[in-house]
Amino acid sequence: MLPYVFCIILVGIGLYTVLTKKNLLKIAIGFCLVEYGVNLFIVMVGYRWNGLPPIMLTPDDKTLFVDPIPQALVLTAIVIGLATTAVLLAIVVRVYKRYGTLDLTELKRLKG
Amino acid sequence: MSNLICLFVVIPLFTAFLIGILYKLHNSVAETLANVCIFALTCLSVLFISQVAGNNALVYKIGGWIPPFGIVFVIDSLSVLMLVLVNTVSLFAVIYSISYMERYTSKPYYYILFLLMLVGMNGIIITGDLFNLFVFIEIASISSYALVSFGIQHEELEASFKYMVIGEIASTFILFAIILLYAWGGSLNMADIAFRINSDSLGTANSMVKFVSVLFIFGFGVKAAIVPFHAWLPDAHPSAPAPISSMLSGVLIKVLGIYALTRVLYSVLGITPVIQNVLLTLGAISMVAGALLALPQIDFKRMLAYSSISQVGYILLGIASGNFIGITGGLFHLVNHGVFKSLLFMDAGSVELGTKTRKLNELGGISEKMPITHGSFLAGALSIVGMPPFNGFWSKLLIIIGLAQSNHTGLALLAICIAVVTLAYYLKIERSVFWGKLKEGLQFVKEAPFSMAFSMIMLAIICFVGGLLYFHPILKDAAQVVHQGTAYANHLLK
């Protein structure tokens, strides 16, 4: 149970960072934390205590295996996370070039 | 025929990378390839209409794996309705882009991102696997973040950053919900999960479904810009280039938000009265708040963006009303809104291109200078406020009848009142942009070029005759798919 609590705490820290920090890079870091929390949760879901790698030697092998599907899913999720982080950081760099600052409160051209 | 389903993803994906390789050969390679590709997709989606007649469903098994184990693509009436809408709107948006994107540099990147966004949307519509749904949502979302910031001016970057942070948190919650479902049921296939929830023997399904529904409503609610989660939309949609605004407001919020929400809540988890009431409340709040916030706006496109929030509320009210007429009305309004909101954003883009401004107080009296833009805007505005011969009237009427039939008379009256408010803010645009005396400095405004005018005229014609869709069986079949709920599973597991 404890590892799941750590996942939730990680997501919570990430959400807190996104909601309260004023620096664009810190928001990006907070977003990554949320993502890592969920990725960790995916890995947890597939893990079996004392489980072996899922290689069946005979068709009716009754050994306890870890679940391989979440491992495949988490790889995809990590790659997607890489893409989103890259786009997010690219936008942050462009914002810095335009506004000359990373302070979120300076970005206030759009309102209404 | 079912082997052709994968083409909806393969064709645009392949073309996107082909453009990336070939764009240096000639200036017009990118736009030609994109136009031909989307035209082919539109024809293909129309071809599928006859295939799903009578609530038939086609299944494509990727790699030949049988359903609960492999990924499947499924096409039923609801999917075909959405595919025809998405690909038709994309076709006109991409034709519109030929002239509109002249003033931007690096057009090939624009077309690549456009096609990738289309890959994502088509994929969401046809997939029958929950994790695959998430992957396609991310493909569509990431391309839309990049497209919103395409102009890389101050406003675009600010809007894109806001959109991206909110949108990605929502995607992460969707992923979390999907993994929870997997942890409970040990399956990712939508039909299989629906079957397992229905035949639950341990009695744990109920509490899990409630928790997961909340996560899904949050995640897809952000994507659909339902009111408590709408903050990104009025920034992101006006900042994008006009054809992208029309794609985002016209189809993206519906596919990523409404369609995915409907598919997951109705076909997989199974709708309960509690969830239905939540959706009704959210729909009513969006409808009212969107309309009231649109009234004081002075930016042309920003007002249209708030109007989208209001109309999404209508769609949600229709779908959540719980009876067949209401669901038909909701889906009908979804299609109609896709057509007329993309038309209105194209008109806004055409006005912006001609006059170099979108502030309502700097515009005035350009109806003589831009007759085609004005005419098509009038068609779109009359549809959205619900004037009888246009398509918007019929769908709003069906939604109101549906609400009244399921004893939500108050909400039905509210929907009528908001239709009047909608009329008010479209009259405001009409008065301050097109009617009255020509403002100083607007004497040399020219009509939009041919490709833009063509798209606007075609969409205006669809607005005019779109009411006839009610008589086509595809709409009722699609409503039947939503109405029958988790019986969706039977198509796949038999």
A7 in a structural domain: yes
Query: Helix or strand or coil: residue A58?
Result: coil
A108 in a structural domain: no
Q: Containing domain of residue A30, as a range? A: 2-47+67-100
Measured from the Cβ of residue B458, the count of other Cβ atoms closer than 10 Å reads 18
pLDDT in tens, A55-95: 888 888 778 888 889 999 999 999 999 999 999 999 999 99
List Cβ neighbours of B414 (8 Å cut-off, separation of 6 or more): B284, B287, B288
- B2 torsion bin: left (phi>0), alpha (psi -120 to 50), beta (else): alpha
pLDDT of residue B8: 94
Q: How does DSSP classify residue B267?
A: I
- Domain CATH for A9: 1.10.287.3510
Q: Quickly tell me which residue has 């798209």 as its tokens.
A: B455
Cβ separation B149–A94 shorter than 8 A = yes
Q: How does DSSP classify residue B272?
A: -
Query: Residue ranges of chain B with pLDDT lower than 70?
Result: 491-494
As a whole number, the mean pLDDT across chain A is 90
A62 in a structural domain: no
Residues 344-363 of B with CB under 8 A from A: none
Out of B135, B142, B154, the one facing A99 most closely (by C-beta) is B154
Separation between Cα atoms, residue B156 and residue B148, nearest integer Å: 6
Written as one string, the DSSP assignment of B332-372 is HHHHHHHHHHHHHHHHHHHHHHHHS--BGGG---TTTT-HH
Pull the structure tokens for residue B20: 């990336």
Q: Containing domain of residue B311, as a range? A: 2-493
In chain A, how many domains are there?
1
Contacts of A38 in chain B (CB under 8 A): 172, 175-176, 179
Residues 5-44 of A with CB under 8 A from B: 11, 15, 18, 24, 27, 31, 34-35, 38, 41-42
Out of A15, A84, A98, the one facing B157 most closely (by C-beta) is A98
Decide if pLDDT at A101 tops 80.
Answer: yes
Q: Residue B49: exposed, middle, or buried by beta-carbon count in 10 A (0-12, 13-18, 19+)?
A: middle
A94 in a structural domain: yes
A36 in a structural domain: yes
Beta bridge partners of B223: none
In this prediction, residue A112 has a pLDDT band, given cuts at 50, 70 and 90, of low
> What value of ipTM does the predicted structure carry?
0.95
**Rounded to a whole number, what is the distance in Å from the CA of A53 to chain B's nearest CA?**
18
CB B269 within 8 A of CB B197: yes
A59 in a structural domain: no
Separation between Cα atoms, residue B486 and residue B214, nearest integer Å: 18
Beta bridge partners of B73: B60, B127
A53 in a structural domain: no
Contacts of B146 in chain A (CB under 8 A): 87
pLDDT of residue B21: 94
Separation between Cα atoms, residue B330 and residue B475, nearest integer Å: 10
Written as one string, the DSSP assignment of B316-332 is HHHHHT-SHHHHHHHHH
In chain B, how many domains are there?
1
pLDDT of residue B493: 63
pLDDT of residue B200: 77
CB A103 within 8 A of CB A23: yes
Q: Which of A64, A67, A85, A74 is nearest to A41 (CA)?
A: A74
Is any Cβ of chain A less than 8 angstroms from the Cβ of B302? yes
Out of B154, B162, B176, the one facing A38 most closely (by C-beta) is B176
**Rounded to a whole number, what is the distance in Å from the CA of A39 to chain B's nearest CA?**
9
pLDDT in tens, B313-339: 999 999 999 889 999 999 999 999 999
A85 in a structural domain: yes
